[in-house]
Amino acid sequence: MIPFLDCRTRFAAVAALLMAVPRGASAAPGDTLSRTVAYPDTVVVEASRLRSRLADLATTATIVSPEQIRLGTAPGTHGVLAVVPGAHLIDLSGSETHGVVEARGFASQGQSSHMLVLIDEMPINDLETDRVDWNLIGQGQVDRVEFLRGASAFLWGNATMAGVVNIRTRKPGEGPSGWVQGAAGGFGRTELAGGANWSDEGFDLGVTSSGQSLDGWRDHSATDVGTGTANLRVALSPRWDLRARVLGNGSEQDVPGPLPDPVWRDDPEQAGTPLDRRELFATQGVFELRGRTAAGFDLVAMVAGDRRDLEATETIIPGGTLDRSSESVNGRAELRAHWRTGSPWLSQMMIGADGQQGTLESRYHDPSAGGAEVGAGDVTRSTGALFALLIAEPAQRLGLTAGARIDWLRSSLEDPTGVTPPSGDDDLRAVSPTVGVNYRLANAGNLYLSYAHAFKAPALDQLYDQRPFDLDGPGGAPPIRISNNALQPQRGHHVDLGARTPVAGDVFADVAVYWAESTDEIGFDLVNFRHINIDESRHVGLEAGLGSAGAGTPFAWNASYALTRATFEGGDHDGNQINTVPEHQLYGRLSWRHRWSGALTAEVTYVANQWIDEDETYRLPDYTVADLGLTQALGPLELFGSVRNLFDERYATLGYVTVDPTTFGDLPLYFPAAGRTFRIGMRWRS
């Protein structure tokens, strides 16, 4: 750590260091590097459900390419999104094993998610909380990532106010091939991943696996994760394919928890919650029939299942713990048709329907009372949706989009102990329309303007959480529950205006401005200690990226800036920035390829003006973090290494304010991020 440099000075110093890298070397023949912001018209985005070219999308989108992932410094899957303008990365463990990604001021503080995440188009948000476990897939298994930012409910329904992320895993190639990757590093890190592909006429099979073990930077933050995937495609005929995808994951994680001030600054390696722990076993499977019945008419039929078994120990106010076991099973089916008509006034049409049926059984036991059961709940949620999207191309470069989705959600609670009366059926409905205009530029890129409506339904734990919270300890008032089955969905209107366009040479710009207004935002009432629908919120921002792939030079670079004004509208906190949302984010990246088939990459991130409470009383310190990465190819073998948090910055990415059980006053808590650490490894591909 360099104490005499403040955050802004450190950011400027790193930027100057990057610009001072010698420019005499030339790129190796055939060397390719990440096209950080250059978007060829041929890039296909699967998260759009239409498999659309990026230049045809009337929405803000970023593709994180395989080269960006390979040359970057992030050790985990969620960390590769650092290159996306406005993506706010949060570290809940101090070792990047409890990662959270948020965007556009839709902050869930790691308790839920306003962002839908897919693995190969299969949603992975959990049934209970809508949270995303980024450990379900190892970074070595990821081929590329698509991030559609902004409202996407017209495509995917619930939990898409901040956008949709589609993680594409490595797919089978032509002929047999394989790869393996291993790494070790600070905090007891060990990693091993590998995969193999087999391809023949009408048949493709790919399997991958990854494992990671980490002692952790903080006390009581060890993590062990293992994941395996299999992707199969069988050609039934020249027009029809049968596809199957399977994912299995097992993880054991110690959860260190937040720390008060000044402990998080002076001794951040403390555990905070030394007993909290999670053991998760998850399996997902999907069968998909895809084909073309006539020229331009495609059909997709899909059935999928998701099962998760969780054993956990969780801290409950005022400092005790509860043991928890839960089992969730979720089934999903979808049918959609896509028709390319050839008519300029209705060039494409997609219609479809999907539905889900999920059950969740949770049990809570108090270890201080000999393991007595103190809470239980059996929850069901059924959903159904109809959607349609129409695209017209009345002129050569002009595209018009209109569509809508109708969602129905029905949830209910049964308490097997009989303590809580049955909730009955809690029905929620939402209509999510969209319209958009897209203009493809003559040279490359496009201009777009779009409107969309989106919603975020209350999660099952917000509706029916059966954990008892004993605010004043034994002998006081009876325990309470923080859930509220009267919660209504958060709803919002969203407008995006943006452009992706060349600037000069191979320098490409990506700029978007957006406006969103939400009602019935789901928040937490500290006075009554429960979830409630709170005031309206307004989200206005700018996301800008500029970069070059370095064609003909040894350098590739990109930089991005995000301004996020997410404010409460009305009430006691009118005009205040929503807590945990940073107002300013800067990101820069420079890669230098030398003539010996290697590359040196430097990344720097700056985050500023972030509060942890609605009153804007407690502010997170601004921070700047710099990382360095190195790759060196030796034939089919590649060596890589990285140093994270080069200047050993002491910072926190998240905090919140709760009730001090001894004084019943404010208790601000912070999640300290990791200090400087390293990672070295090698990868081989046949």
Render the burial of 149-165: b for 16+ CB within 10 Å, e for the rest.
Answer: bbbbbbbbbbbbbbbbb
Query: Mean pLDDT in the chain?
Result: 89
In a domain, 2, yes or no: no
| Domain count for the chain | 1
CA distance 524 to 66: 40
- The count of residues in the chain is 686
Residue 358's nearest CA partner among 423, 431, 304, 416 is: 304
Phi, psi torsion values for 497, nearest 5 degrees = -135, 125
Average pLDDT over residues 191-201: 92
Top-confidence residue, 592 or 43:
592
Task: Take residue 641 and report the two structure tokens written for it.
Answer: 């290494």
pLDDT at position 38 over 60: no
pLDDT at position 25 over 80: no
For the segment 650-686, what is each residue's pLDDT rounded down to a tens digit?
999 999 998 787 787 889 999 999 999 999 999 998 7
pTM of the complete model: 0.91
Strands 115-119 vs 163-169: parallel, antiparallel or unpaired? parallel
pLDDT of the residue at 181 = 95
Average pLDDT over residues 12-31: 32
Task: Take residue 318 and report the two structure tokens written for it.
Answer: 């005022």
pLDDT at position 201 over 90: no
pLDDT of the residue at 47 = 87
In a domain, 98, yes or no: yes
pLDDT at position 639 over 90: yes
Per-residue pLDDT band for 480 (boundaries 50, 70, 90) equals: confident
pLDDT at position 12 over 70: no
578 with 106: CB under 8 angstroms? no
The CA-based angle 202-208-211, given to 5 degrees, is 175
Per-residue pLDDT band for 397 (boundaries 50, 70, 90) equals: very high
Residue 373's nearest CA partner among 327, 417, 328, 321 is: 417
Place of tokens 């997609």: 350
DSSP 8-state class, residue 484: -
CA distance 172 to 419: 53
DSSP 8-state class, residue 577: B
DSSP 3-state of 11: helix
CA distance 253 to 286: 27
CA distance 549 to 444: 15
For the segment 421-437, what is each residue's pLDDT rounded down to a tens digit?
888 888 999 999 999 99
pLDDT at position 42 over 70: no
pLDDT of the residue at 664 = 78
Average pLDDT over residues 132-146: 93
CATH number, domain of 115, equals: 2.40.170.20
pLDDT at position 490 over 70: yes
pLDDT at position 79 over 60: yes
Residue 99's nearest CA partner among 660, 585, 664, 653 is: 653
46 with 52: CB under 8 angstroms? no
Average pLDDT over residues 35-60: 73
Task: Take residue 233 and report the two structure tokens written for it.
Answer: 């495609």
Determine the number of helices (DSSP H) and then strands (DSSP E) in the chain.
5, 38
- Name which of 33-47, 375-389, 439-453, 657-671 the model is least confident about: 33-47
pLDDT at position 596 over 70: yes
Can you list the alpha helix ranges (DSSP code H) found in 158-296? 263-266
In a domain, 542, yes or no: yes
pLDDT of the residue at 347 = 92
In a domain, 256, yes or no: yes
In a domain, 1, yes or no: no
Average pLDDT over residues 43-57: 85
DSSP 8-state class, residue 469: B
659 with 650: CB under 8 angstroms? no
Per-residue pLDDT band for 522 (boundaries 50, 70, 90) equals: confident
Share of the chain above pLDDT 90, in %: 70
For the segment 602-612, what is each residue's pLDDT rounded down to a tens digit?
999 999 999 99
For the segment 259-312, what is each residue's pLDDT rounded down to a tens digit?
999 999 999 999 999 999 999 999 999 999 999 887 778 999 999 999 999 999
Q: Strands (DSSP E) along 320-345, which ranges?
A: 320-343
In a domain, 287, yes or no: yes
Average pLDDT over residues 468-494: 85
pLDDT at position 175 over 70: no
Residue-range definition of the domain harbouring residue 565: 7-685
